[in-house]
Amino acid sequence: MSSSRNKRRLSASTVVIAGVFIVGVAGIVYSRVTSGGDAPDAGATSLADRDAPALAGTPDAQAQALLPAGFDFVTPGTLTVATHPGQLPLADYGADSKQIVGVEPDIARLIADGLGLKLALVPVAWADWPLGLQSGKYDAVISNITVTEERKQKFDFSSYRFDLLGIYTRTDGPIRKIEKPADVAGLKVVVGASTNQDQILRQWDRQNIAAGLKPVEYQYFDDSVIGRLAVITGRADVSFEPNATGAYSARDGKVRRVGLFPGGWPDAAAISVTTRKGSGLAEAITQALNAQIASGTYAKALERWNVAEEAVPESETNPPGLVGL
């Protein structure tokens, strides 16, 4: 969901205006060319939904050889992965109300297949994953977790997506672009409480107020569907949310993206598979991810959930994390 600030800094306007997203994550420079405003064309791809079939990953002997000898799997021969089934395209219950589907379960499947293991998905509340992982209830967590320097003290990470935040408005609304903090002045903004984007928005708001601009009107909803409805009906001007959920919901044409920002604005952030610190599992998972990237199965997983623009060219173990989050 994200000196330690030696990551390459970028302004939000660079992402939106120039459309070139260059991120330094542990020595790897990621380049992303995007239109900045418009979300990916959902109509160009047959998007997955709650009845999505499972993807098959590519077995990788090198990843399997990296599995730590004597690692105590929750279930021998099985990779047990916790995820939070809350909202597509990340993860939610499928059409049968039993299977968990989404891009996170897809990534889990690809990794397990790469490692030559079976997969067991465990639904978990977001607040419970750290203790559950540390206590050995599951082997890994794949649940839109942003790498932070604080989390790296307790966990290891294998990056698999960019952490991007999107600003969305109703399709027929007057707002065309949000490319700098001043552009949100005076707007009614739907945002998740205590999230990265909430902290970023408050930072922008303080800056705007100091410059004599109107304050933001914050709108918090426990139900994301109600928050989206507020934007569609005009009771809110925009939503500020993980780009993955925004881009997926935009497929119905009722909302459009007007801004795109790195998840640790102004710093880049990586979404990563999370494992116990020092367990040795992260290195094997990183290699398994890179095998899926090379084979093309990774790209298929992201494309079918409309989050292809968040793809990384290479997975990395323990990339630099955000500070103070």
The tens digit of pLDDT for each residue in 234-268 reads: 999 999 999 999 988 898 899 999 999 999 898 88
Q: Would the pLDDT of 43 be above 70? A: no
Q: What is the mean pLDDT of residues 25-40?
A: 41
Q: What is the mean pLDDT of the chain?
A: 86
% pLDDT > 90, the chain:
70
Walk me through the domains of the chain, giving residue ranges and CATH numbers: 59-163+270-310 (3.40.190.10), 164-262 (3.40.190.10)
Q: Which one has a higher pLDDT value, 23 or 320?
A: 320
pTM: 0.80
What is the 8-class DSSP label of residue 310?
A: G
Residue 220's closest CA among 192, 246, 239?
A: 192
What's the pLDDT score for residue 42? 46
Q: What is the mean pLDDT of residues 57-78?
A: 97
Compute the distance between CA of residue 236 and CA of residue 233 in angstroms, rounded to an integer.
8
What's the pLDDT score for residue 39? 58
- Give residue 176's pLDDT band: very low, low, confident or very high (50, 70, 90): very high
Q: Would the pLDDT of 142 be above 70? A: yes
Q: Would the pLDDT of 29 be above 50? A: no
What's the pLDDT score for residue 182? 98
Q: Which one has a higher pLDDT value, 35 or 111?
A: 111
Q: Would the pLDDT of 96 be above 50? A: yes
Q: Is 163 helix (H, G, I), strand (E, B) or coil?
A: coil
Residues 6+ apart with CB under 8 A from 276: 133, 134, 136, 155, 156
Q: Would the pLDDT of 113 be above 50? A: yes
Compute the distance between CA of residue 159 and CA of residue 175 in angstroms, rounded to an integer.
34
What DSSP letter does each residue of 225-277 carry, written as one string? Answer: HHHHHHHHHTSSSEEEEEHHHHHHHGGGSSEEEEEEEETBTTB--EEEEEEET
What's the pLDDT score for residue 71? 95
Strand duo 100-101 + 92-93: pairing: antiparallel
